[in-house]
Amino acid sequence: MTDEFSDIPVFMEDMAESIRKTALLLDRAETTAFFQQMLSAKRIYVAGAGRSGIIARAFALRLLHLGLDVYVVGETITPAMLPGDTLVVFSGSGETHTMATFCSTVKDLGGKVCLVTATADSTMSRMADVVVNLGDLTGYYRKNTATFEERQMTGQYRSVASAFAPLGTLFETLALVFSDAVISALMVARKEGAGELKGRLTNIQ
């Protein structure tokens, strides 16, 4: 394989540039609203499908390290949601059926919904109280309107149409960076340092 196709740092630089572009384009009103909701929520629930679910879990773990009351939707120990609680959903398309159902249920229960997405206009964005649109720089979601479940069943995740941040990769990378930036902002607002977070790490493994 030639160096042209194996120069991994070049792909990393391209991704870093995409992160920079996204940060410059983010709507400050959206990010501020998301941050304020994290500060004011009684309890925070997180959810996402597929790889977005992994990002959701990473965000939940850091919120836990901050000392917040946080749960992952679908876990056996997740308690009933109450009015005043907040659901954070990570969904690039904003159309995943299971996630949309969660959002609808939360609204019926009197909770708040925060959506981190790549699609400004979607089923979930129309239900959400707060939407952070990370954008769709690769055009993946504009070109493919199939749901997450449909893409899984038809094998579309095996497409190699684009080598750079294929499929939903860029959204997932941006969502992770965004969520970690939110954690940094919360640390400042709550006057918490790395020492306080370290004290909340698991100590039984």
17 within a domain of the structure (yes/no) = yes
- pLDDT at 40 exceeding the cut of 60: yes
Residue 158 has pLDDT above 60, yes or no: no
Tally of CB atoms within 10 A around 144: 16
pTM for this model (two decimals): 0.82
Would you say residue 38 lies in a domain?
A: yes
- Count Cβ atoms within 10 A of the Cβ of residue 31 and give its class: 0-12 exposed, 13-18 middle, 19 or more buried: middle
Determine the pLDDT at residue 82: 93
27 has pLDDT over 80: yes
* Domain contains 201: no
Q: What is the pLDDT of residue 58?
A: 95
For the sheet with 112-117, list strands across it: 70-72, 44-48, 86-91, 112-117, 130-133
Report the pLDDT value the prediction gives residue 12, as an integer from 0 to 100: 84
Separation CA 133–CA 93 (nearest Å): 11
**Mean pLDDT of all residues in 75-85:** 92
Q: Is the pLDDT of residue 130 over 70?
A: yes
Pairing relationship of beta strands 44-48 and 70-72 according to DSSP bridges: parallel
Residue 56 lies in a domain: yes
- State percent of the chain over pLDDT 90: 60
Q: How many domains are there within the chain?
A: 1
Residue 9's nearest CA partner among 17, 55, 168 is 17
In a domain, 61, yes or no: yes
Range(s) of the domain holding residue 148: 6-192
pLDDT surpasses 80 at 114: yes
CATH number reported for the structural domain that contains residue 81 in this entry: 3.40.50.10490
Q: What is the arithmetic mean of pLDDT over 163-182?
A: 81
**Is 200 within a domain?**
no
pLDDT one-digit tens code per residue, 92-103: 999 999 999 999
Region 139-162: what's the mean pLDDT? Answer: 53
pLDDT, residue 30, reads 97
What average pLDDT does range 22-51 have in this prediction? 95
Tell me what pLDDT residue 144 has: 54
- Contact between 55 and 62 under an 8 Å Cβ cutoff? The reply is no
Cα 163 to Cα 17: distance, rounded to the nearest angstrom? 16
Does some domain include residue 198?
A: no
Mean pLDDT of the chain: 83
Residue 199 domain-assigned (yes or no): no
pLDDT at site 202? 62
